[in-house]
């Protein structure tokens, strides 16, 4: 393991000892440099970039957050910026351009060769979150009629500049994908064989327009390190490597968790999102849910007479709605996650509902007994205790079914099921719970 | 892309056309076979396994859920079972044994050669969820003083049986890890150079006891496909490949989501967990939260006089506590996810709290205005409207701080912060909200 000294870069800069700093930096992994400079102010970050070799600089720069990137682009000397941008890999470059304001994009594009510009813009043509955006054209392409030893020679010559030589796409003269060949297949074969004899001619591939989440699922399912990407006419666009997909898997989980907490989603880390931006992301749902929630005041107002006579009824209201909300949150989280992992499909809805009717009844029974025992400490009126306990039973069973159904309904309506969790679900279930509670209390206590 | 016909295996079995089925199956990816047989009854699954070549059979079998595996083990002929078990990779085999009841474990171990048994049991010695459990010893090991062309010859000879030849660990005679060398480094080098001249002598590695979540973070950070694993004396145990880590990343996200919904965690897919098991997983939290929630009835009972005079106060109670719960859920989900991804660290607590004081105030102000406008439709009494709106402001600010703090407190107490989300948080925030609401209402309406 490389010795990971936590370098005090600030100290080197203040002492002006750039030579030692340069030497040390050149031996570090880009990911470690990123961590070291993360909290430096932009003008000290600049110093570090000046000392980094261009390939390292390009990788570190591409992994900074967009706000840091913008700040640095303004501070870099033109020469340095040109060097970094042209050393970046095409997919990282496309990602950078996507995040930058238009004037910066134009400036950056002007630094590229026509070939690099074409490459970058073609990736940007693919929709956001599509496979095309994760694709790098930097792979060694082979032809089926090449001899294995010549293929190895080609890899030896071109390989250094490429993203990976673990897997090579095999194409015809029209760039149509015919197969893939792994480096080890070439090494283990007769040097005089043809590539087409050793290639896998039924490779798994994805389309450039495939959603990145699906790419992640395919690579996970087939345990792939690298997958080739083609356009709608089966022509090779490039390859996707698993390291980019690992980031996607994390992003998607974050997105699900945010949606499940009713937050407008963002990919930026917490500290790189402004206070204002966060308020704006959180507000729409909060206001909508508050307005939805206040509908309950209308329901409760109808039972004002009951409340005035038996204010104790209000005392069990929070526990009642909380329990309904908890039940609903649990089951919706289970169903949503099951859907995200492909374990639960739309056609399974009736199996889920049937199971949850049973599970709901078991849970409801035990919880109703619990609240009955607990109510003894608050009231001695048997009828109130029974009303609370009956209402809880009904609320639990129904909340469980609502929580299990909403993700399916969302999916059928082509809405992301993750929306149907947490706060939104709780609010819906609460409204229903309050109505059930007061109706049952009103009936059983017949005032 | 392989043509993915959805094979109607049932039909082949009924027609008794095993020869065609065998031919077709042999061309499928294990992941696809898994999907095809998933819903077949055990006695038809058996038929499929009989037709599969042993390596394919081993992979498919290792990816079945434990309940299916147990059923099949009982149905397999001894010969077949022996064949499958000994063809499995050591890490898959260790995982299988871990899930099986003791009597099955003994039976399976008796089918292994002493060497295989030693390998498997040594992996099982590592704690659950540790790197050791994901490790496969099946890698090509090189010595530093081997000549490159001889190393390539060794890879050619041994490579077919190994998990990957993308990266080879380099060890000394005491098995101490000295470095790693990638296949391409060997190919691109002078065939007469020594391995130690072309290896990376400061490789990133992990310990067998390292938590699997940390392994995932390291592989993601450094974009690794393969990482070597050593024991406490730096001796090579084996390697971990990224495909196993991708599964870990998914498992960890599932676990977080379950904890955030207050469910006792399980790794088994929804339909492979029994109704009873799910009820048991969900109940402890539900009962605990219900009992915690009923504390609110004590608080409310104290304000019975207020409620009897102004039952309308109860009407705003649900919207009040829901909003507090929603605010708390949002911020705790953001903080918990930020912690899981390493974006928020324990030392950042004061920055988070300061930010959230500000964000909470902005949200509270807008929500208080919203409820004030909304209240006009329910009551015309200005004092009630003002009391509700003031209480909401206070509840929102405090809920936001509670939601932001609890994950930090949990972490300081070495509890998984994910517990402090969803239902548990909502219940705590609700209790506090009810107390604030009634206290403020009581003060401002001075009855």
- pLDDT tens per residue across span A211-244: 988 898 889 888 899 999 999 889 999 999 998 8
Eight-state DSSP code of residue B227: E
Cβ of B258 within 8 Å of Cβ of A325? The answer is no
Query: Residue A365 — very low, low, confident or very high, per pLDDT cuts 50/70/90?
Result: very high
Q: What mean pLDDT is predicted for residues B365-391?
A: 83
Distance, in Å, from the CA atom of B317 to the CA atom of A299, rounded to the nearest integer, reads: 12
Instruction: Enter the pTM of the model.
Output: 0.74
> Which of B225, B262, B270 has its CB closest to that of A326?
B262
Residue B176 in this model has a pLDDT that exceeds 70: yes
* DSSP-assigned letters across all residues of A390-423: HHHHHHHHHHHHHHHHHHHHHHHTTS-GGGGSHH
Distance, in Å, from the CA atom of B221 to the CA atom of B16, rounded to the nearest integer, reads: 52
What pLDDT, on the 0 to 100 scale, is given for residue B379?
66
* DSSP-assigned letters across all residues of B268-284: S-GGGS-HHHHHHHHHH
What pLDDT, on the 0 to 100 scale, is given for residue B447?
52
Query: Residue A447 — very low, low, confident or very high, per pLDDT cuts 50/70/90?
Result: low
- Distant-in-sequence contacts of B27-33, Cβ < 8 A, 24+ apart: B27/A202, B27/B2, B28/B2, B29/A204, B29/A222, B29/B2, B30/B56, B30/B59, B30/B60, B30/B63, B31/A221, B31/A222, B31/A223, B31/B63, B32/B2, B32/B4, B33/B60
Q: Are strands B226-230 and B206-207 parallel, antiparallel or unpaired?
A: parallel
From chain B, pick out residues whose CB is under 8 angstroms from the CB of A36.
none
Q: Average pLDDT of chain A?
A: 86
Q: What mean pLDDT is predicted for residues A89-102?
A: 84
- pLDDT tens per residue across span B326-357: 888 888 888 888 888 778 888 889 999 999 99
Interchain contact A29–B (C-beta under 8 A):
yes
Cβ of A257 within 8 Å of Cβ of B260? The answer is yes
What pLDDT, on the 0 to 100 scale, is given for residue B394?
95
What pLDDT, on the 0 to 100 scale, is given for residue B226?
94
Chain B residues 222-241 within an 8 A CB cutoff of chain A: 222-225
Eight-state DSSP code of residue A27: T
Q: Minimal CA–CA distance to A143: which of A188, A178, A167?
A: A178
Phi and psi at B417, nearest 5°, equal -60, -25
Eight-state DSSP code of residue B125: T
Interchain contact A155–B (C-beta under 8 A):
yes
- Measure CA of the first residue to CA of the last residue in chain B; give whole Å: 76
Interchain contact B270–A (C-beta under 8 A):
yes
- pLDDT tens per residue across span A60-95: 998 888 888 888 888 888 888 888 888 888 888 888
Eight-state DSSP code of residue B420: G
Q: What mean pLDDT is predicted for residues B281-286?
A: 83
Residue B4 in this model has a pLDDT that exceeds 70: no
Interchain contact A405–B (C-beta under 8 A):
no
Tokens read off for A146: 């090449």
What pLDDT, on the 0 to 100 scale, is given for residue B3?
46
Instruction: State yes or no: ipTM above 0.85.
Output: no
Cβ of B422 within 8 Å of Cβ of A318? The answer is no
Q: Minimal CA–CA distance to A422: which of B35, B103, B15, B336?
A: B336
Phi and psi at A143, nearest 5°, equal -105, 150
CB A379 within 8 A of CB B301: no
Interchain contact A366–B (C-beta under 8 A):
yes
C-alpha dihedral, B243 to B244 to B246 to B252, nearest 10°: 180
Interchain contact A437–B (C-beta under 8 A):
no
Query: Residue A251 — very low, low, confident or very high, per pLDDT cuts 50/70/90?
Result: confident
- The proportion of chain B whose per-residue pLDDT surpasses 90, expressed as a percent, equals 23
* DSSP-assigned letters across all residues of A139-208: S--B-TTSBHHHHHHHHHHHGGGSS-SSEEEEE-TT-BEEEEEEHHHHHHS-TTSBHHHHSBSS---EET
Q: What mean pLDDT is predicted for residues B143-153?
A: 93
Q: Which of A176, A185, A325 to mutate to test the interface with B (most CBs of B within 10 A)?
A: A325
Q: Which residue of A has its CA nearest to B344?
A: A270
- pLDDT tens per residue across span A4-56: 556 778 888 888 888 888 888 888 888 888 888 888 888 888 888 988 888 88
Query: Residue B215 — very low, low, confident or very high, per pLDDT cuts 50/70/90?
Result: very high
The C-alpha angle with vertex A361 and arms to A357 and A362, in degrees rounded to 5, equals 120
Distance, in Å, from the CA atom of A35 to the CA atom of B207, rounded to the nearest integer, reads: 22
From chain B, pick out residues whose CB is under 8 angstroms from the CB of A321.
318, 321-322
Query: Residue A379 — very low, low, confident or very high, per pLDDT cuts 50/70/90?
Result: low
Residue B78 in this model has a pLDDT that exceeds 50: yes
Eight-state DSSP code of residue B136: B
Interchain contact B282–A (C-beta under 8 A):
yes
Q: What mean pLDDT is predicted for residues A352-370?
A: 91
How near does any CA of chain A get to the CA of B277, in Å? 10
Cβ of B298 within 8 Å of Cβ of A378? The answer is yes
Interchain contact A347–B (C-beta under 8 A):
no
Phi and psi at A213, nearest 5°, equal -65, -40
How near does any CA of chain A get to the CA of B262, in Å? 7
Contacts across the A-B interface (CB distance below 8 Å): 366
Interchain contact A413–B (C-beta under 8 A):
no
């Amino acid at each position: 393991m490389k010795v990971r000294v936590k370098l005090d870069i600030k100290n080197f800069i203040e002492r002006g000892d750039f030579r030692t700093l340069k030497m040390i930096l050149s031996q570090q992994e880009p990911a470690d440099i990123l961590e070291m400079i993360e909290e430096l102010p932009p003008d000290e970050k600049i110093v570090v970039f000046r000392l980094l070799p261009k390939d390292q600089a390009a990788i570190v720069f591409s992994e900074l957050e967009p706000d840091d990137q913008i700040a640095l682009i303004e501070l870099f000397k033109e020469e340095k910026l040109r060097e970094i941008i042209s050393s970046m890999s095409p997919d990282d470059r496309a990602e950078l351009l996507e995040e930058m304001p238009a004037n910066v994009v134009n400036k950056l594009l002007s630094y590229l060769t026509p070939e690099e510009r074409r490459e970058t813009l073609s990736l940007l043509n693919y929709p956001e979150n599509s496979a095309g955006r994760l694709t790098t054209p930097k792979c060694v392409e082979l032809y089926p009629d090449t001899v294995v030893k010549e293929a190895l020679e080609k890899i030896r010559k071109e390989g250094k500049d490429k993203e990976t030589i673990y897997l090579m796409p095999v194409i015809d003269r029209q760039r149509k994908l015919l197969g893939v060949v792994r480096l080890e297949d070439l090494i283990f074969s007769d040097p005089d064989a043809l590539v087409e004899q050793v290639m896998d001619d039924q490779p798994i591939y994805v389309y450039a327009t495939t959603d990145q989440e699906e790419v992640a699922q395919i690579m996970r399912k087939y345990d792939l390190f690298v997958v080739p990407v083609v356009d709608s006419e089966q022509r090779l666009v490039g390859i996707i490597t698993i390291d980019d997909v690992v980031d996607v898997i994390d992003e998607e989980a974050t997105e699900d968790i945010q949606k499940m907490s009713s937050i407008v989603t963002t990919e930026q880390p917490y500290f790189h999102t402004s206070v204002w931006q966060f308020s704006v992301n959180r507000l729409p749902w909060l206001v909508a849910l508050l307005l939805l929630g206040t509908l309950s005041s209308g329901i409760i107002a109808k039972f004002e007479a009951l409340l005035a006579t038996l204010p104790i009824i209000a005392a069990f209201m929070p526990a009642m709605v909380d329990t309904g909300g908890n039940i609903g949150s649990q089951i919706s989280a289970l169903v949503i996650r099951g859907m995200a992992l492909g374990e639960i499909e739309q056609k399974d809805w009736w199996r889920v509902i049937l199971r949850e009717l049973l599970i709901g009844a078991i849970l409801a029974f035990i919880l109703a007994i619990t609240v009955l025992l607990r109510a003894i400490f608050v009231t001695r009126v048997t009828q109130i205790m029974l009303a609370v306990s009956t209402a809880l039973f009904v609320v639990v069973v129904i909340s469980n079914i609502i929580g299990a159904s909403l993700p399916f309904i969302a999916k059928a309506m082509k809405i992301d099921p993750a929306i149907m969790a947490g706060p939104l679900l709780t609010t819906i279930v609460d409204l229903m719970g309050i109505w059930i509670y007061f109706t049952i209390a009103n009936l059983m206590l017949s005032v």
